Amino acid sequence: MNWTSFLEFTRGPLFYAALLIFIAGMVYRLVRVIALGWARDRVKSRGSKLGGAVRSLLKGFLIWPFIPWVKNTFSRSPLIYVAGGLFHLGLFVVIFLGAAHMLVWKSLLGFGWPTLPLPIVDWLAVVAIAAMIVLFINRLVHPVLKLISGPAEWLNLVFVFLPMISGYILTHHLFFRYETAYSLHMLAVDWLLIWIPLSRISHFMFYFFAKAIHGAQFGKRAVAP
């Protein structure tokens, strides 16, 4: 087995299998959560549930990230808030607005979109990598966090870190031949796809539901979330 054929494997059958496991796993997780059931709603609404849900989601994306100091999650641990925020920003830009990744989406969905210049994506990749290191160290030194971090928490960080760092190495042609670095990147990505449904990283899907449900509850009582 040489790196060229290993790359074919990680870009081909392994990716294929990982993606199917990802899809099946995420649907499974979602169904399990939905099947937990809702308490029957016997109280008359005073406001619009839908409006509340929409408002909650919009606020979560468009307002809070820009005025974080009014939230007490921020004032309680600004480091986690800022590092976490920057990590997610970097991740989003790299995965959706980098040229290489847009081409992945295009091949899967059948349509593409404009991308950001590589240097910008590149800096945000660095920011995300730095943020992950900060979060890792913070978890190591923070007494409470350390207590509540089981193996799964550490592994989550590592498994997201690996595609990031290997992607950066790949783009910059560092240390390895391109097909070697590419194989490692794909291996990390394929594993992440399998790992996500098994882990709490699947929060990215539940986040939107949680936000919507909270918003709906606030909306119903006609109070601002």
Partner 1 sequence: MAEETIYQRLQAAGISRRDFLKGCGGLAALMGLQQAPPVAASGLPAHLARGGDPAPLIARALATKARVPVIWLELQDCAGCSEALTRSHSPTLVDLVLREITVEYHETLSAAAGFQVEAAKQAAMKQYAGKYLLVVEGSIPTDGIYCTIGGHSALEILQEAAAGAAAIVATGNCSAFGGLPKARPNPTGAKGVLDFIEDKPVINIPGCPAIPEAFTGTLAHFLIFGGLPELDELHRPKTFYGHTVHDRCLRRPFYEAGKFANTFDDEGARQGWCLYKLGCKGPTTYNACAGIKWDAGLSFPIQSGHPCLGCSQPNFWDGGGFYQGQSAPLDRPGIGVAAAAAGIGLVAGAGIAMANRAQKRASDDGK
Q: How far is the CB of 134 from partner 1 (least distance, A)?
A: 27
Residue 187 or 216 having the CB closest to ligand HEM: 187
Would you count residue 107 as binding partner 1 (CB under 8 A)?
A: yes
Which range binds partner 1 by CB under 8 A, 13-21, 53-61, 147-155, 157-165?
A: 13-21
Binding partner of residue 168 among partner 1, ligand HEM, none, CB cut-off 5 to 8 Å per kind: ligand HEM
Q: Read off the tokens for 169.
A: 């190495």
Q: Which of the choices ligand HEM, partner 1, none does residue 12 contact, using the CB cut-off of 5 to 8 A by kind?
A: partner 1
Q: Tell which residue, 101, 201, 218, 116, has the closest CA to residue 160.
A: 201
5 near partner 1, judged by CB under 8 A: yes
In the complex, the smallest distance separating the C-beta of residue 136 from ligand HEM, rounded to whole angstroms, is: 15
Q: What is the dihedral of CA 152, 155, 5, 174, to 10 degrees?
A: 170
Q: Which does 145 bind (CB under 5 to 8 A by kind): ligand HEM, partner 1, none?
A: none
- Is the CB of 53 or the CB of 128 nearer to partner 1? 128
Measure CA of the first residue to CA of the last residue in the chain; give whole Å: 57
Integer angstrom CA distances of residue 109 from 19, 43, 131, 161, 205: 13, 42, 30, 26, 19
